[in-house]
Chain A
Amino acid sequence: MESESFSHHISRRFNAELEHLRSEVLRMGGLVEQHLDTAVEAITAGDSDMGLRVSNEDHKINKLEVTIDEECRKLLATRMPAAADLRLIVMVIKTITDLERVGDEAAKIGYLASHLATDREPYASYTELKALGEHVQEMLHDALDAFSRMDVDDALAVIEEDKLVDEEYDQITRQCISLMMEDARTIRRFMDVSWVARALERIGDHAKNIAEYVVYLVHGRDIRHTERETVLQELEAAKGDRPASG
Chain B
Amino acid sequence: MPKVWTWTLSWYGGALVAGGLVGYLYDRTTLGVLVVGLGLLAWQLYNLYRLERWLATGEITEIPDGDGVWPPVFAKIQFIKGKVKRRGKRFRKLVKELRASTEAFPDGGVILNSRHEIINYNQAARVLLGLKNRRDRGQRIENLMRYPDFVDYLNNPGGRQAVDIPSPAGGDTWLSCRLIPYGPEQMLLLIRDVSQRVKIEKVRRDFVANASHELRSPLTVIMGYLDALAEDDRIPDGWKQPIGVMQDQSIRMRRLVEDLLQLSKLESGQSVPKDHVVDVAAMIAAARKEALALPEHPDSIEIELQSPANLLGEETELQSVVSNLVANAVRYTPPEGEITIRWTVDADGGHLAVQDTGIGIAEEDIPRVTERFYRADGGRARQRGGTGLGLAIVKYALRRHDAELEIQSRLGQGSTFVCHFPRDRLALS
Residues of A that sit less than 8 Å from B by CB: 1-2, 19, 22-23, 26-27, 29-31, 33-34, 37, 57, 138, 141, 144-145, 148-149, 151
Q: How far is the CA of A37 from the CA of B166 in the complex (A)?
A: 10
Q: Which of A33, A57, A138, A148 contacts B143 (CB 8 A)?
A: A148
**Given A1-B117, A30-B148, A33-B146, A149 and B139 touching (CB < 8 A)?**
yes
Q: How far is the CA of A57 from the CA of B274 in the complex (A)?
A: 12
Which chain B residues lie closer than 8 Å to A151 at the CB level?
Answer: 135
Q: How far is the CA of A29 from the CA of B145 in the complex (A)?
A: 11
Which chain B residues lie closer than 8 Å to A23 at the CB level?
Answer: 140, 142-143
A22 & B143 in contact (Cβ 8 Å cutoff): yes
Q: Which of A22, A30, A138, A149 contacts B151 (CB 8 A)?
A: A30
Q: How far is the CA of A2 from the CA of B143 in the complex (A)?
A: 13
The reply on B197 being an interface residue by CB < 8 A is no
Which chain B residues lie closer than 8 Å to A148 at the CB level?
Answer: 139, 143-144
The reply on B168 being an interface residue by CB < 8 A is yes
Q: Contact string, B141-184, partner A, CB cutoff 8 A, digits 1/0?
A: 01110111001000000000000001010100000000000000
Q: Which of B144, B148, B151 contacts A145 (CB 8 A)?
A: B144
* Min distance, Cβ B110 to any Cβ of chain A, angstroms: 14
**Given A26-B146, A30-B151, A1 and B135 touching (CB < 8 A)?**
no
Q: Which of A2, A26, A29, A141 contacts B170 (CB 8 A)?
A: A141
Q: How far is the CA of A34 from the CA of B144 in the complex (A)?
A: 14
Supplied contacts A19-B140, A31-B148, A149-B135, 5 more A-B pairs, CB within 8 Å: A29-B146, A34-B147, A34-B148, A145-B144, A148-B139
A144 & B146 in contact (Cβ 8 Å cutoff): yes
Which chain B residues lie closer than 8 Å to A26 at the CB level?
Answer: 142-143, 146
Taking chain A's interface residues, is the majority helix, strand, or loop, or is none over half, making it mixed?
A: helix
Q: How far is the CA of A167 from the CA of B142 in the complex (A)?
A: 33
A149 & B147 in contact (Cβ 8 Å cutoff): no
A27 & B147 in contact (Cβ 8 Å cutoff): no
Closest 5 CB pairs of A and B: A30-B146, A148-B143, A1-B138, A1-B139, A26-B143
**Closest residue of A by beta carbon distance from B150:** A30
**Closest residue of A by beta carbon distance from B168:** A141
Q: How many A-B residue pairs have CB under 8 A?
A: 46
Q: Which of A2, A19, A27, A149 contacts B146 (CB 8 A)?
A: A27
Q: Which of A19, A30, A37, A151 has the most CB atoms of chain B within a 10 A radius of its CB? A: A30
Which chain A residues lie closer than 8 Å to B151 at the CB level?
Answer: 27, 30
* Min distance, Cβ B400 to any Cβ of chain A, angstroms: 13
Interface size on B, residues (CB 8 A): 18
* Min distance, Cβ A109 to any Cβ of chain B, angstroms: 18
A selection of 15 A-B contacts at a CB cut-off of 8 Å is A2-B138, A23-B143, A26-B142, A26-B146, A27-B142, A30-B142, A33-B146, A34-B147, A34-B148, A57-B273, A138-B170, A141-B168, A144-B146, A145-B144, A149-B144
Q: How far is the CA of A1 from the CA of B138 in the complex (A)?
A: 5
The reply on B132 being an interface residue by CB < 8 A is yes
Which chain B residues lie closer than 8 Å to A144 at the CB level?
Answer: 146
**Closest residue of A by beta carbon distance from B155:** A27
Which chain B residues lie closer than 8 Å to A145 at the CB level?
Answer: 144
The reply on B258 being an interface residue by CB < 8 A is no
A33 & B139 in contact (Cβ 8 Å cutoff): no
Q: How far is the CA of A37 from the CA of B148 in the complex (A)?
A: 12
Q: Which of A29, A30, A138, A149 contacts B132 (CB 8 A)?
A: A149
The reply on B267 being an interface residue by CB < 8 A is no
Which chain A residues lie closer than 8 Å to B136 at the CB level?
Answer: 149
Which chain B residues lie closer than 8 Å to A37 at the CB level?
Answer: 166
* Min distance, Cβ A55 to any Cβ of chain B, angstroms: 14
Which chain B residues lie closer than 8 Å to A29 at the CB level?
Answer: 146
Which chain B residues lie closer than 8 Å to A1 at the CB level?
Answer: 117, 138-140, 143
Q: Contact string, B255-277, partner A, CB cutoff 8 A, digits 1/0?
A: 00000000000000000010000
Q: How far is the CA of A148 from the CA of B131 in the complex (A)?
A: 12
B 90-123 contacts with A by CB, 8 A:
117
Q: Contact string, B353-385, partner A, CB cutoff 8 A, digits 1/0?
A: 000000000000000000000000000000000
* Min distance, Cβ A65 to any Cβ of chain B, angstroms: 15
* Min distance, Cβ B334 to any Cβ of chain A, angstroms: 42
Q: How far is the CA of A225 from the CA of B183 in the complex (A)?
A: 52
* Min distance, Cβ A243 to any Cβ of chain B, angstroms: 22
**Closest residue of A by beta carbon distance from B135:** A149
**Closest residue of A by beta carbon distance from B116:** A23
Q: How far is the CA of A31 from the CA of B142 in the complex (A)?
A: 12
Q: How far is the CA of A26 from the CA of B132 in the complex (A)?
A: 18
B147 & A33 in contact (Cβ 8 Å cutoff): yes
Which chain B residues lie closer than 8 Å to A141 at the CB level?
Answer: 168, 170
**Closest residue of B by beta carbon distance from A59:** B275
Q: How far is the CA of A148 from the CA of B170 in the complex (A)?
A: 17
Q: How far is the CA of A142 from the CA of B145 in the complex (A)?
A: 12
Q: Contact string, B200-224, partner A, CB cutoff 8 A, digits 1/0?
A: 0000000000000000000000000
Q: How far is the CA of A141 from the CA of B147 in the complex (A)?
A: 11
**Closest residue of A by beta carbon distance from B138:** A1
Q: How far is the CA of A37 from the CA of B167 in the complex (A)?
A: 12
Q: How far is the CA of A31 from the CA of B151 in the complex (A)?
A: 10
Q: How far is the CA of A157 from the CA of B233 in the complex (A)?
A: 78
Which chain B residues lie closer than 8 Å to A31 at the CB level?
Answer: 146, 148
Which chain B residues lie closer than 8 Å to A30 at the CB level?
Answer: 142, 146-148, 151
Which chain A residues lie closer than 8 Å to B144 at the CB level?
Answer: 145, 148-149
* Min distance, Cβ A60 to any Cβ of chain B, angstroms: 9
Which chain A residues lie closer than 8 Å to B146 at the CB level?
Answer: 26-27, 29-31, 33, 144
**Closest residue of A by beta carbon distance from B132:** A149
Which chain A residues lie closer than 8 Å to B139 at the CB level?
Answer: 1, 148-149
Which chain B residues lie closer than 8 Å to A2 at the CB level?
Answer: 138
Q: How far is the CA of A145 from the CA of B144 in the complex (A)?
A: 6
**Closest residue of A by beta carbon distance from B145:** A30
Q: How far is the CA of A151 from the CA of B132 in the complex (A)?
A: 11
**Closest residue of A by beta carbon distance from B117:** A1
Q: How far is the CA of A26 from the CA of B148 in the complex (A)?
A: 10
* Min distance, Cβ B277 to any Cβ of chain A, angstroms: 17
* Min distance, Cβ B138 to any Cβ of chain A, angstroms: 4
Q: How far is the CA of A148 from the CA of B135 in the complex (A)?
A: 11
